[in-house]
Amino acid sequence: MATTAMHATHKILAAAAGKDHVSPGEVVTAKVDLAGINDVYLIVVRSFREMLGTKVWDPRKVYIFLDHNTPASDLKVAEAQKAFREFAGEQGCCLTEINEGIGHNLLPERGLARPGSVIVITDSHTPIHGAYGAFAAGLGATDMAAVLIEGSTWFRVPDVVNIRLTGKPGPGIMAKDAALSILGRLGTDFGTYKVIEFSGPVVEDLPMEERMVLTVMATEMGAKSAFIKPDRTTIDDVKGYTSEPFTVYETDPGFRYAAEYEFDLSGLKPQVALPHSVDNVRNVEEAEGIPIDQVFVGSCTGGKLYDIETVAKTLAGKKIAGGTRLVVTMSTRETVQKAIRKGYYQILLDAGASITSPGCGACSGLLGGIVAARERCVSTANRNFPGRMGGSVEAEVYLASPLTAAATALTGKLTSPERL
Amino acid sequence: MKISGKAVVYNHDNISTDQIFPGQYGYIQDMKEMAEHTLEGADRTIRERFRTVGNIFVSGSNFGCGSSREFAVIVLIESGVKAVIVKSAARIWYRNAVNLGLPVLFCPTLPDAVAEGAEVEIDLEKGTVLDVATGALHQGEAPSEFIIGIYREGGIKPLMRKKALERSQKKERAGD
């Protein structure tokens, strides 16, 4: 049989399925290298029991992340987290505690996001780990319960879309602006059931934390998974955290993408997604001056050290505008520690920020910066659906880069960082 | 698999899981209590219409986008929904629906044509839906054999239970 050229992510799935070759559309059963559950989904444990599960297939590969609601905001949450601790104790699997931060950001810090691995987590933003050359997809709770028993799950081998980022982005432009401009042009479902690969000279120049913004925002483009070809930057980063071996798969020459797009970022202006859709994107300058009640800097997307550094450097020696709140939720404990050592924590406090403990925070809409009806929030997170930040469908969420968020905090109005 | 019933129509695109089941209710452990918030972020009347009008839910494209929360399928099932017909759906929501045995048909034409309360008949294997009153037969996308196989078992929980029982029977036969 003539074999067609394969994409790197197809090779990952083929290896995990024990096959030499897979093709888009084919359903494969792939072994999982890491299965993660976050604290919203105690239902995984219930489904595990209903499926007559007794022991997880490999406790070293199962992670429970207490990250969505930390420290517990009410009794139901406290009970769920207690049940998770008991399950982890019984099964001997790994559990990250309420002080440690967002699972998605803990994986790279622990060398668990590795090229060539198959990662499934009960969280839609799991494609973030494609920045490390992993095949990473979000799963629902019942799916996850089956993974805990069998150590594998089924995937329909996806088509791949390639997005090349070229040109010379200006100094006020971050990966978030690039992601929002892609969403503005291509919408929220062009990547459904597909892998979105990000490539091109702009991507190659980005640090890992900025690459993760592209791959996490692929979720908002509908993607099943995302991918950035591992390079020196990736490999050095991973080796800085782990000595575990990993495999870098290369896409075959002549591989046919389902679609290819090029975005020339030269001259791109700072971008904002207006309420209530991630693809309702404008140049910030077109919407400048809208009064903003709260600025939220946080989440797996916008609460990394790079984001905190960006905001702190913009706010250094300044105060946020009266009438505006700045809520900062750093992604992990390590981020907090580094922010303290580098002086960013002090700068943010001095500027007037409310700094919460690390975790998903207000992005989950559960605690730590809920927005009231008819209030407006500029957020460095990833979605602005109605009700996303705490349930009021009348609360307005504007998605922007950390730079735009910082500029906005200083004026109390939506502000382009080009004015700084 | 054939499913028939009356349509409850909410023909909008990009209905997110935050609207189907707002995140702040995620720690409720009782399914019935959860279902009290079904589609609350979209239109609070829909839940009542599942009781008074019908149990085939019809919506637009990219249905169920956003969070991976399975509750966005569970609350529909708990509200009595027997099948969902949408122009298209987000991947994780669709996969959750398959896993929980909730039939979903992708049909680009029916949502724009069907009236609230209309009697519809779905043939899942053929990927069709008949609007009984108008006689219009809408062709959607037939699910793959693999997906139909999961539906026939009633979702993956019964499938996994069956596998577990087979494993334990094998063990018994082997005498350990």
- In this structure, which amino acid lies at residue A131? A
CA-nearest of A335, A345, A330, A327 to A390 is A327
Give the number of other Cβ atoms within 10 Å of residue A110's Cβ.
15
CATH architecture classification, B2-174:
Alpha-Beta Barrel (3.20)
Phi and psi at residue A209, to the nearest 5°: -65, -30
Residue contact A188–B144, C-beta within 8 A? no
A405 membership: H or E segment, kind and range = helix A402-411
> Is the predicted pLDDT of residue B88 greater than 50, yes or no?
yes
Is A226 an 8 Å CB contact of chain B? no
For position B29, what pLDDT does the model report?
A: 85
B149 contacts in chain A (CB < 8 Å): none
B91 contacts in chain A (CB < 8 Å): 192-193, 222, 224
Q: CA A314, CA A420: separation in Å to the nearest integer?
A: 8
For position A319, what pLDDT does the model report?
A: 98
For position A203, what pLDDT does the model report?
A: 98
For position A1, what pLDDT does the model report?
A: 46
Cis peptide before A402, with omega less than 30 degrees from 0?
no
- In this structure, which amino acid lies at residue A124? S
> Is the predicted pLDDT of residue B176 greater than 70, yes or no?
no
User: What pLDDT, in 10s, does the model give residues B3-50?
Assistant: 999 999 999 999 999 999 988 898 888 999 999 999 999 999 999 999
Give the number of other Cβ atoms within 10 Å of residue B77's Cβ.
17
User: What pLDDT, in 10s, does the model give residues A157-205?
Assistant: 999 999 999 999 999 999 999 999 999 999 999 999 999 999 999 999 9
Mean per-residue pLDDT, B56-70: 95
B38 contacts in chain A (CB < 8 Å): none
Domain A8-245 sits in which CATH superfamily? Aconitase, domain 3 (3.30.499.10)
Residue contact A138–B70, C-beta within 8 A? no
Exposure string over A348-383, b if 16+ CB within 10 A, otherwise e = beebbbebbbbbbbbbbbbbbbbbeeebbbbbbbbb
Query: Which CATH class name applies to A271-415?
Result: alpha beta
For position B174, what pLDDT does the model report?
A: 77
Chain A closest-CA separation from residue B102 CA (Å)? 13
> Is the predicted pLDDT of residue B123 greater than 90, yes or no?
yes
For position B173, what pLDDT does the model report?
A: 82
Query: What 3-state class would DSSP assign to A148?
Result: helix
Q: Which residue of B has its CA nearest to A392?
A: B41
Residue contact B92–A80, C-beta within 8 A? no
Nearest to A386 among B19, B144, B157 (CB): B19
Residue contact B92–A124, C-beta within 8 A? yes
Could you say which residues from 160 to 199 on chain A have a Cβ atom under 8 Å away from some Cβ of chain B? 188-189, 192-193
* Contact residues of B toward A, CB < 8 A: 14, 16, 18-19, 22-24, 26-29, 41, 61-62, 65-71, 73-74, 88, 90-92, 95-96, 99-100, 144, 146, 155-157, 160-161, 164-165
A322 near A412, Cβ under 8 Å?
A: yes
| B146-A216-A236 Cα angle (round to 5) | 110
For position A3, what pLDDT does the model report?
A: 67
Mean per-residue pLDDT, B153-162: 94
Residue contact B23–A143, C-beta within 8 A? no
User: What pLDDT, in 10s, does the model give residues A270-315?
Assistant: 999 999 999 999 999 999 999 999 999 999 999 999 999 999 999 9
Domain boundaries, chain B: 2-174
- In this structure, which amino acid lies at residue A298? G
Chain A closest-CA separation from residue B132 CA (Å)? 31
Residue contact B26–A366, C-beta within 8 A? yes
CA distances (Å), A367 to each of A184, A278, A374, A384, A397, in order? 29, 22, 18, 16, 16
Phi and psi at residue B94, to the nearest 5°: -60, -45
> Is the predicted pLDDT of residue B55 greater than 70, yes or no?
yes
B161 contacts in chain A (CB < 8 Å): 50-52
Chain A closest-CA separation from residue B26 CA (Å)? 6
Residue contact A43–B144, C-beta within 8 A? no
Residues of chain A with pLDDT under 70: 1-3
Residues of chain A with CATH 3.30.499.10: 8-245, 271-415
Packing angle, helices A344-351 and A333-341, rounded to 10: 90
Is A131 an 8 Å CB contact of chain B? no
Residue contact B155–A387, C-beta within 8 A? no
Chain B closest-CA separation from residue A304 CA (Å)? 20
Is A51 an 8 Å CB contact of chain B? yes
Please report the sign of the dihedral spanned by the C-alpha atoms of residue A146, residue B70, residue A189, residue B23.
Answer: negative
A65 near A36, Cβ under 8 Å?
A: yes
Residue contact A43–B16, C-beta within 8 A? no
B41 contacts in chain A (CB < 8 Å): 385-387, 391, 393
Chain B closest-CA separation from residue A247 CA (Å)? 27
Mean per-residue pLDDT, B53-82: 96
